[in-house]
Amino acid sequence: MRLQGKAAIVTGSGSGIGKATAELFVKEGARVLTVDLPGKDTGLEIDIAADGAPKTIVETAFKQFGRLDIVVNNAGIGSNQLAEEVEREAWDRVLAVNLTAPFLICQAAIPHLRDSGAGRIINVASVMAEGTDYGLSAYCASKAGVAGFTRTLALELGKWKITANYLLPGAIRTGMTTPLWDARPDVADIWAKKSVLRRLGEPEDLAKAALFLASDDGAFVTGHGLNVDGGLMLRV
């Protein structure tokens, strides 16, 4: 088992990518604090953007496990409004959940990851960190920010053998996307055809990528954005 004896935090683990990642990590021997909003049936039910939440998340994991080796910041929200129509409250909420909270969780976790001797930070960004589309100004800004601060963490934390990487998911079946695609199979088909592999991604595709980066297999990979998009961005 590739994560035997490791302790991890996975946010947004009530469904989709986060749930698949947490389940795979447990299967590979890790102890995992699952985190999601109240009502999501996870180990810690909390809004990651609430005041003090990042510190609470890290402290809860350390209290339960006595160590912390892996942080997976997966929780996020979508946004779809033209730039001139985005209300300040909506903009602030997207950046708070997708960018500020993951940064603060990483910041709180650094002392424990330093003690691990093989700490791992895996942040879930999006192919829209490097691309864009109509109505995605807030979302793209938040995900580009995730990529930027993750690269900086890799630079700053490498001397403690902590790696920091980010995933760039493409069109993935998640709790957010599946209802839309079930209601509009034509839209799902369009996105599937944009992938050079001619299919939508599954949460397990991202979980396997996260496992690689979290394990010893990924020990010499840091500051990297790993596209898990079925070749979607090759067509952009």
**Can you read off the two tokens belonging to residue 25?**
């990590």
Q: How far is it, in rounded angstroms, from Cα 45 to Cα 68? A: 19
Q: How far is it, in rounded angstroms, from Cα 188 to Cα 211? A: 27
Give the residue from 226, 194, 24, 44 showing the smallest Cα distance to 124.
Answer: 226
Give the residue from 77, 95, 90, 82 showing the smallest Cα distance to 141.
Answer: 95
Q: What is the 3-state secondary structure (H, E, C) of 37-57?
A: CCCCCCCEECCCCCCCHHHHH
Question: Active-site residues: which are they?
Answer: 139
**Contact in structure between 136 and 178 (CB atoms under 8 Å):** no
* DSSP three-state, residue 166: strand
